[in-house]
């Protein structure tokens, strides 16, 4: 069975940014390893993920919705090369479908949308501890955030065991493979 990795991240990441390049390279390596890449069908990290997957001869799935009266939502980027588009009715349905489709989650830097997606992925991993989907956080800066959560909030011990922080595309692919084979 082909495994899918859902990639979350900053919609405004430019093609020249380090994060865009890292997402592209990571998705390329994942596609070369046989994974299908799932993203929100938008610009930035989402487009980088799809383009990387295509460069790695892989498949892409985009989960989208076409908002009305939401000036601050990026929506579908027609330059994001999707093999399959799944249209949803609203932001919450979109996020839930992105989580449903992924066998693992890879979260890059982002804004409030990415924080929302991360929170749902982390919460679900904790609730399904022992049978959870791997959660890979890209960037060493995540360690400071996770340490701050642990220090200042009521975080249960199992919630600290459901994620892995990585800082390179190769480490991200290795973590996805290792965590999926362990589950």
Entry pTM: 0.93
d(CA 172, CA 167): 7
Percent of the chain with pLDDT over 90: 72
Go through the domains of the chain in sequence order and give each one's CATH number: 4-182 (3.40.50.450)
In which band, very low, low, confident or very high, does the pLDDT at 73 lie, cut at 50, 70 and 90?
Answer: low
Q: What is the DSSP string of 74-110?
A: ----TTS--SEEEE-SSHHHHHHHHHHH-SEEEE-S-
In which band, very low, low, confident or very high, does the pLDDT at 127 lie, cut at 50, 70 and 90?
Answer: confident
Determine how many CB atoms are found less than 10 A away from the CB of residue 115.
Answer: 13
In which band, very low, low, confident or very high, does the pLDDT at 70 lie, cut at 50, 70 and 90?
Answer: low
Mean pLDDT of 69-75: 62
- The predicted structure's pLDDT at residue 71: 59
Structure tokens at 86: 């799944």
């Amino acid at each position: 069975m082909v495994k899918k990795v859902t990639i979350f991240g900053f919609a405004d990441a430019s093609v020249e940014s380090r994060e865009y390049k890292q997402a592209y390279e990571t998705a390329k390596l994942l596609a070369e390893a046989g994974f299908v890449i799932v993203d929100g069908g938008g610009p930035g990290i989402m487009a980088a993920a799809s383009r990387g997957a295509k460069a790695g001869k892989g498949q892409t799935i985009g989960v989208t919705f076409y908002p009305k009266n939401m000036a601050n939502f990026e929506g579908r980027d027609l330059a994001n090369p999707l093999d399959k588009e799944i249209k949803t009715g609203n932001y919450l349905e979109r996020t839930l479908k992105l989580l449903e489709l992924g066998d693992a989650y890879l979260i890059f830097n982002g804004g409030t949308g990415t924080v929302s997606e991360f929170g749902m992925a982390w919460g679900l991993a904790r609730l399904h501890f022992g049978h959870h989907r791997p959660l890979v956080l890209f960037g060493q800066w995540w360690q400071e955030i996770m340490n701050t959560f642990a220090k200042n909030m009521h975080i249960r011990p199992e919630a600290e065991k459901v994620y892995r922080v990585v800082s390179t595309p190769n480490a991200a692919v290795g973590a996805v493979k290792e965590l999926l084979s362990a589950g």
